[in-house]
Chain A
């Protein structure tokens, strides 16, 4: 299979995924209780007012018509207008996205920067004090919820020792603590995978053969074992990146950051159907694209996949 064919096949799968996700989210938000017209109208609105709002929003039309319209708009990457503010959903999302993206990228970067060196050290010095330290860190990192870590970091580094700002997103430095709270949990997971993958590669015979050739231990570890061990890590990192977009919702709340997470959270409170739909589809697109890129990257660095 050629590289183009491989990429095309993955792209097709991506489109199918998005279609399924769009459909699910459309029906799910209509099944759960809550009527946007009631929320917009408020407690004092008369039944005829509510009906008028419904007509204006288009929620009085048959589901099938609404669904068709929604799919059509998704195809154009146009998610309609917010039922609450009336602004286009797309511009609302694109306004907030850069912050969340920066947060996720920083979090992943922190995760990888911690996980790979520590994971490699753990694998190379297996069952040593370093290894146990790494494993304990990883266990804690997975067990501690990131919002709790965020609160602890705020208490320590914004209140007790005010090195970082307490909230807001005015400068890069204000993203450090949220990115750290997101990154530690990712580091914990990626570390486990790096360690396991590295241990597996180090036990393979090509590594022993490299040693038999008289190569320096550093070359054996990094040029041979690590390169092969990193292959599965690419996929893991892609998935973790997706989780981070979701995880950002909570972290943005803790640090009062005006990102996508907070936008969607309020959209859910207010039953702002177009914004919820648009938000979920948007996140799904980003998630799928990231995994698509991870797969393509994987196939580029792994000669086996491309050529088989």
Chain B
């Protein structure tokens, strides 16, 4: 299977221009390239503020990248006219971190879910049927669809947000910290729900989290993001068994219960050439394992306490 989505050199600069017209840009995403196979489950892990969310929004052209491009199923998103892009959007959807702000508080669940369907011209009977089916899929009773978002718990809301993303029959779903606002017990339910849905509907996922255990559980391929760049990318087992980047190692070591698994010997087995900062560990990498040359960022402790921003 070929790649569904390919990102080439995505850069996103947040402008913070003042009255003086000075251009104090902040490079939130810095030259990021990766591709995701069809039906793949790609993870991005990194501390808060590393640019994960910005990257997600930029690659979906919700907040278009400053430079670089995205090819989705052979279509260059940057080349689409606004109207074409709008029509294209239904193929890729996003689930946000905070289910409190991601549902319009003045719309009933039914209205929130049917809005996109009305937009593509589906009639009422079909809409109702489809919404009932999707709510059922995420474990929310269809009888509750006339209620407002504030009448649901956080976990239920996140399920509703997932159902909403699915109304458009997307092929690709970006999950931006979908469970970090949920209680741990609910987290597992939602994660498993997401995995079931992926299986059932044959979706492609981009899963973003600061929780490396969660990413390891969910994803086949993991990219580690640090200060706007992807510093290392590898199949999940490979990354955990053989982390090459200094930051990745710090990240893995800082997770409780994970540090034991990081084999000191694996670090020891690195050849002396590997350890030279100037010559990154390109030798001996297995297929699909990519390490950037930013290896000298030790000392920064990764901040894993991701809040609600």
Give A contacts to B, CB under 8 Å.
127, 204-206, 208-216, 219, 224, 227-228, 301-304, 307-308
Contacts and interface: CB of A to CB of B under 8 A. Distances in A.
B237 interface: no
Contact of B101 (A204, A214, A216, A307): A204
25 contacts: A204-B101, A204-B102, A205-B101, A206-B101, A208-B94, A208-B96, A209-B96, A209-B102, A209-B165, A211-B62, A212-B62, A212-B94, A213-B116, A213-B167, A214-B87, A214-B88, A214-B116, A215-B86, A215-B119, A219-B119, A227-B106, A302-B105, A304-B148, A307-B148, A307-B150
A30 B144 CA distance: 61
Most buried by B among A211, A212, A304: A212
A216 B115 CA distance: 11
Contact of B90 (A213, A227, A228): A213
Nearest to B117: A213
Given A213-B115, A216-B86, A304-B150, 9 more contacts: A204-B101, A206-B104, A209-B161, A210-B115, A219-B119, A224-B104, A303-B148, A307-B150, A308-B150
Contacts of B105: 206, 228, 302-304
A302 B96 CA distance: 24
A228 B106 contact: yes
Contacts of B97: 205
B104 A228 contact: yes
B87 A205 contact: no
Contacts of A216: 86, 119
Nearest to B94: A212
A211 B62 CA distance: 7
B93 interface: yes
B115 A215 contact: yes
B168 A303 contact: no
A210 B116 CA distance: 8
A213 B167 CA distance: 9
A223 to B, nearest CB: 9
A127 B105 CA distance: 27
A40 to B, nearest CB: 59
Interface residues of B, number: 34
B18 to A, nearest CB: 9
Interface string B167-189: 11000000000000000000000
Contacts of A228: 104-106
B119 A302 contact: no
B8 interface: no
B205 to A, nearest CB: 15
A208 B62 contact: yes
A196 to B, nearest CB: 16
A192 B189 CA distance: 44
Interface of A is mostly: helix
B297 interface: no
A303 B105 CA distance: 8
Nearest to B83: A216
B161 A214 contact: no
A206 B94 CA distance: 11
B301 interface: no
B103 A206 contact: yes
B195 interface: no
B189 to A, nearest CB: 21
A302 B151 CA distance: 13
Which of B17, B60, B96, B104 neighbours the largest number of chain A CB atoms within 10 Å of its CB? B104
A208 B103 CA distance: 10
B164 interface: yes
A131 to B, nearest CB: 11
A115 B161 CA distance: 34
Contacts of B93: 212-213
A303 B86 contact: no
A213 B119 contact: yes
A209 B119 CA distance: 14
A205 B98 contact: yes
B116 A127 contact: no
A206 B57 CA distance: 13
Contacts of A210: 104, 115
A205 B101 CA distance: 6
A307 B151 contact: yes
A63 B119 CA distance: 70
Interface string B47-70: 000000000010010100000000
Given A208-B96, A209-B161, A214 B168 contact: yes
A205 B89 contact: no
Contacts of A302: 105-106
B94 A214 contact: no
B115 A214 contact: no
Contacts of A219: 119
Contacts of B161: 209
Nearest to B16: A127
Interface string B140-175: 000000001011000000000100110110000000
A227 B107 CA distance: 10
Contacts of A301: 106
